[in-house]
Structure 1
Amino acid sequence: MKIAIVGYGVEGHSSFEYFSKDGHDLTIVDQNFIKNIPKEADYITGDNVFDKLIDFDLIIRSPGISPHRLPYGEKVWSATNEFFAKCPAPIIGVTGTKGKGTTCSLITSILRAAGRTVHLVGNIGTPALQELPKIRPDDIVVFELSSFQLWDLQRSPHVAVVLMIEPDHMNVHKDMEDYVAAKGNIAAYQAVDDTVIFNRNNQLSQQIAAASKGKKVEYPFAIDEFTASIKLPGAHNQENAAAAIAAVREFGVGDDVIRQGLSAFDGLPHRLEKVRELDGVTFYNDSFSSAPSATVAAVKSFTQPEIIIVGGTDKGADFSELHTALQEATNVKMVILIGEIRHKLADILHDINYEISDVRTMAEVVNVARSYATSGDVVILSPACASFDMFKSFYDRGDQFREIVKSL
């Protein structure tokens, strides 16, 4: 079979390795220059490359490529579709605008505390096709699913967890309707014996759940008996824990084991990650927060005086909720605006204490934040924006912040 692997990022690499094992005729397709191409691989690069795929029998779309750019009908497939078609074990799929990684990790920690073999795949874990040969029918798969992976998904997981849905990736999706439609595939193909867990306080999460034929379980709910076991700061992480608890209860996990699993999880890098305390000032790395709603959650996570570092690349997001949260917060001492969006943010946050910083390095950003901080304060890198103006990725942004703070 003649197969095009469209997009050669992490998942593209995994797809190439997976399909090459069956002796198919593979071609790597990418608009950009491709590094580390296997010696045996054919490839096509350059402008209008997606218009040259008519002769392929199968087109494997990587998550970063919009299906709207591949008008080849049933020929278009994806690594996520392939995994769902071949996986022998039940799948817990988790999607939402924020909280996916933490919720997936909590689910995984609890199920492992229960003695189950769990495979964490997707954005947060191993590429799904790479993990597929290791999976047995009695195992459980926890799959973090972005809108890009869900875009053309043709099957839904056995347990779908739909966290809060808010505008995001509007620079990639055609509009909000397109974004929600992609997210909706997580529940759209469920059977009556499947389960969808949804956020009862979020209309779009409710809307997605309503399309499922399966059992519907709502969250958040009171988890007072578990709060002492949760090590993560913020009310939003209480909600993530509630979603995780609902998911593992579908597999018969009891409360004592749930507490064990919750307490075993210390949090993920770049998600309100405590870096250090210095001279009474505590520094948190929340670089993963590339949407305003995530930064709102960070703002609400602490009662101490806050110095918040915000800014980066403009993704076309709506900052009105963040503006309101900063207005209402009585403990926000200073907002430091960085990156290419800093002047736009200054116009939006005109009545907030802010400093527009024209710095070009993370070391300079940290120095500006320190100049405002006194003992008892928290300094939070929670950008609410993408990172590509100053950094390679949110990982790079957070890693630099952590390294510099630890070196102080």
Structure 2
Amino acid sequence: MLLSHARILVLGLGASGEAATALCASRGWPVTVTDIRDRDDVASALTRLAGLPIFYCLGQAPPSCADFDLIVRSPGVPRDLPVLHEAHMHGIPVWSEIELGAAVCPCPITAITGTNGKSTTTVLIRDLMRAAGRTALVAGNIGHPFTSSASLMQDDDVAVIEVSASQLENCHAFAPRTAVLTNVRREHMDVYTWEQYVAAKTRIVRNHTPDHATIANLDDPVCRQIAESSPGRAIFFSTRGPLPAGREGVFLERGQVAAIYDGDQVTVCSRRELQVPGSLPNIMAMMAVGLREGVPVKAIRDVATSYPGREHVIEHVATAAGVDYYNDSKATNPWSTLHALDAFPDRPIVLITGGKDDKEADVTPLAATLTGRVRHLITLGQTGPRTIAAARAHGMTAITETTSLAEAISQAVKVAEPGDVVLFSPGANSKDMFPDHRTRGSNFKQQVRLLCGAGRSTLLPAG
């Protein structure tokens, strides 16, 4: 499609819709943006877009698609809007903001998707590219719209973008030079069937050729299948031991992180050199990207061993009376909480979990692992009663139900013993008690430090 001659309709004036609209208007492409909110509700966006040649349709349903050649759908826009059905019936393409950004991006793209671990892996790959002397942009689902910077990049830069299922859903020609699949678990079942969710994730490799690469978690059956079915080069990572014969990638063997690539095997670092519990799969994915990009092993090792973690992701907050307190507020589904538990295989855990479930999440896999892994379960929030019921069904008896985060922390301090980990990993979103996971995590840290005395934590800002 020749975008300079296309009449474009952008659905939604959130962050990605605003960025997409600005890109189109700045290039002189005819663009209309629509949002059901009225002008007062989107006033800040209108101020930032002031002076650009944009048509607005605000405070009402979107216009008919008959007058447009392309529709750009923002991630938060419902899939069942009549205008989207109408577009499908008339053969009018519907793009995501990621697809639009890729159409104007002049440099190679490394795209990361999966259910959990996307943001951490994205940040690690950015750090690696910068350590290798490349200019690296981070964008996408991590909080920075791709279209806001894609056209500003140079040919020898690299775009490192996190992409969600909803963003991939409306990608058609998108073909990242390197695709990374962290894991694919049952998530967003309020929006997709399992088959639809897997199909959306698979779109990241749908346009791959032998010149492309898919870096995938060998330990995840869906990721493995996607990589093996892709025409691109398959590079794997595994925390469970050596790779199968004939495979290349990164693996853990006898406490050492090693890699096989282009027929050569090297030891990159020891697992003990990594600073952040639970970061190994993300670091391995980063290492695989480094091998793909020809980054020297020393630079890969330096990034891996110096990575201090991200705020609200299995973040050490304090140590008091022999107990370590960790903030994992970014865990917004039960799979994230399972991952956090795996970060402490040899430590007794007091788990604080619970929040609001808006994705029809299945807590059964989490509940099934609690007995023998968690010494005491403390719940809060909307999902608390369901988690308690599932945990009891699997034999868990040491359970305390609370009604606030402050009460949960107070109970954790009471029951924790020297050598324990108190892990705050909600496994749900925050909106029954807090506006977002950052506020929730900051509240947890503040209260822990008040109760336990100032702790020491080394952080990277989220995003």
Q: TM-score, normalised by structure 2?
A: 0.81
Pairing partner for 2:444 from 363, 385, 401: 401
1:43 and 1:401, CA in 2 relative to 1: closer, same or farther beyond 3 A? Answer: farther
Corresponding residue for 1:385? 428
- Residues 112 and 321 of structure 1, relative CA distance in 2, 3 Å threshold: same
Taking the TM superposition and a 5 Å limit, the aligned residue runs for 1:62-81 are 62-69=74-81, 70-71=84-85, 72-73=87-88, 74-81=92-99
Pairing 1:288–2:330 present? yes
Find the counterpart in structure 2 of residue 320 from structure 1.
Answer: 364
Matches within 5 A, 1:136-175: 136-154=154-172, 155-173=174-192, 175=193
CA distance in 2, matches of 1:296, 1:171: 21
Q: Secondary structure at the match of 1:92?
A: strand
CA RMSD between the two structures: 2.1
CA distance in structure 1 between the aligned counterparts of 2:434 and 2:296, rounded to whole angstroms: 44
Match of 1:11 in 2: 16
How does 1:297-376 map onto structure 2 within 5 Å? 297-302=339-344, 303-314=346-357, 315-329=359-373, 332-350=374-392, 351-352=395-396, 353-359=398-404, 362-376=405-419
The code of the aligned residue for 2:71 comes to I
In the alignment, what sits opposite 2:140?
122
Distance 1:149 1:89 in 2: 20
Is the Cα contact below 8 Å between 2:274 and 2:305 reproduced in 1? yes
Q: Which structure 2 residues correspond to residues 106-255 of structure 1 after superposition, within 5 A?
A: 106-124=124-142, 126-154=144-172, 155-173=174-192, 175-220=193-238, 221-222=251-252, 223=257, 225=267, 226=269, 227-234=271-278, 237-255=279-297
Quote how far apart the aligned CAs of 1:62 are. 0.7
Bigger CA radius of gyration: 2
Asked if residue 43 in structure 1 is aligned to residue 57 in structure 2, the reply is yes
For residues 217-247 of structure 1, the C-alpha deviation after alignment (integer angstroms, 9 at most, x for no partner) is 122113154224422203xx22222221111
Deviation at 1:261, TM superposition (A): 1.3
AA at the equivalent of 1:14: A
Equivalent pair of 2:96/2:169 in contact (CA under 8 Å): no
Deviation of 1:328 after TM superposition, in Å, equals: 3.6
Structure 1 residue 59: deviation in Å? 2.0
Give the direction of change, closer, same or farther, for the CA distance of 1:11–1:229 in structure 2 (3 Å limit): farther
**CA offset at residue 358 of structure 1?**
2.2
Letter in 2 for 1:231: Q
Q: Is the 8 A contact 2:368 2:391 kept in 1?
A: no
Kept in 2: contact 1:109–1:262 (CA 8 A): no
Between the aligned partners of 2:230 and 2:59, the Cα distance in structure 1 is 40
Helix, strand or coil at the partner of 2:46:
coil
Deviations 1:346-384 (A, max 9, x none): 21111322212123xx33332232232233322211111
The Cα shift of 1:206 comes to 2.0
Q: CA offsets, 1:62-102, max 9 Å, x none?
A: 11224443221334222100111121111111111111111
**Equivalent residue pairs, number:** 399
